[in-house]
Amino acid sequence: MELLSEDIVPEYARDVKQEAREFAREHIEPNAEECFRAGEYPWEILEAGMDAGLVAQDIGEEYGGRGLDVVQMLAIAEEFYRADAGIALTLQLASFGAEMMEQYGTDEQKERFLRPVAENDQITGLAVSEPDVGSDLAGMETTAEKVDAEDGDDGSDGDGDYVLNGEKYWIGNGVEADWVTVYAKTGDTDDRYMNYSLFAVPTDTDGYHAEHIPEKMGMRASKQAHIVFDDCRVPAENLIGTEGGGFMMLADFFNHGRIVVGGHGLGLASAAIEEAWEFVHGREEFGRHVADFQAVQHGLADMRTEFEAARSLNYRAAEHVRDRENPGLWAAMAKVKSTETAVDCAERGMQFHGGRSILADRRIARVYRDVRIPVIYEGANEIQRNLIYRQSGEQ
């Protein structure tokens, strides 16, 4: 059964999709179970992905990347996530947020921060969510206060610096990254959407403290961090774009991210369907194969139908986002449909496996744990439904 076929993929994205498939077969699939069990950061696989030209390559060629677009990143994501979600997330988080540096950063910032990521000399991360705030981008509490010269440690060199205070949570590579893009509050105006800015913060800056979040139920080969900023001082030249423009920059970036997260769902759904199909055609109950029961056949038919619907929507949405045609609406629909299809397929797959589904060494059990996570990150699906409703009315 070949679910991630090329027929729906635009021709220009097929080569990189094949590269991702070959890499997944060689490096991700053979290590998936062990990485899940160990729950350790897969440095060797990340480095292999870098060598294969499949990490941080949506950054433009001008800065050392391949300039892959959102359709190509979707094609990579579904192949990686079919093989293992935790390892895949590590590979795709290595440059998470750097795209905003490319779009809005200065030439000096791009050379200092972006090029090392594109050339795989550094990895980065994006710090947005907080311990008590998740999807409300205009409700974050971490602050970045601009200080005057007299506020500097030596009374002379502080003019224009920003001092960050607060906490961030669920931050991919918060410990491992060389620098992170931090979303922080810089204003207190009546327009709550204009109060936030983005900063490039090296992780060796004084006042930056990060530790791994305790063990997760799924995607265990990916590491997230709790970051505390304690009078963490960064120079004004580390401001990305304009002060107060962070919300709009981030909202636009998430349109691309949600398409790729849809690919996370597609990969996981395909893994669940493949596992269920193989199991029911190889196991007997009451003197016949489980696949001979009509209820099972109908379940598999529903799984396949919903998967194909989700995949069609996701690739159509990717082209809308690429071409900037009502991207927020399409990205939200793709994210909701694909990630929830993955949940449904994993639940049915668990049911078809019966008692064996709860064994820790079963791939379907790992997939079942992993699918619960993409429906939450990159904006919980309940928030996406708000966007779908509102933006549908704006057309």
Q: Which residues does the annotation mark as catalytic?
A: 378
Beta carbons of 346 and 367 less than 8 angstroms apart = yes
Q: How far apart (Å, rounded) are the C-alpha atoms in residues 304 and 150? A: 65
Backbone angles phi, psi at 167, to 5 degrees: -135, 150
What does the angle CA 271 – CA 275 – CA 280 come to, to the nearest 5 degrees? 150
- Measured CA distances, 371 to 3, 39, 42, 268, 339 (Å): 18, 17, 20, 7, 7
Q: How far apart (Å, rounded) are the C-alpha atoms in residues 218 and 79? A: 18
Beta carbons of 205 and 233 less than 8 angstroms apart = yes
Beta carbons of 94 and 42 less than 8 angstroms apart = no
State the Cα torsion 10-11-16-22 to the nearest 10°.
100
- Measured CA distances, 185 to 99, 146, 168 (Å): 21, 11, 12
- Measured CA distances, 70 to 10, 93, 100, 225, 317 (Å): 12, 15, 14, 26, 10
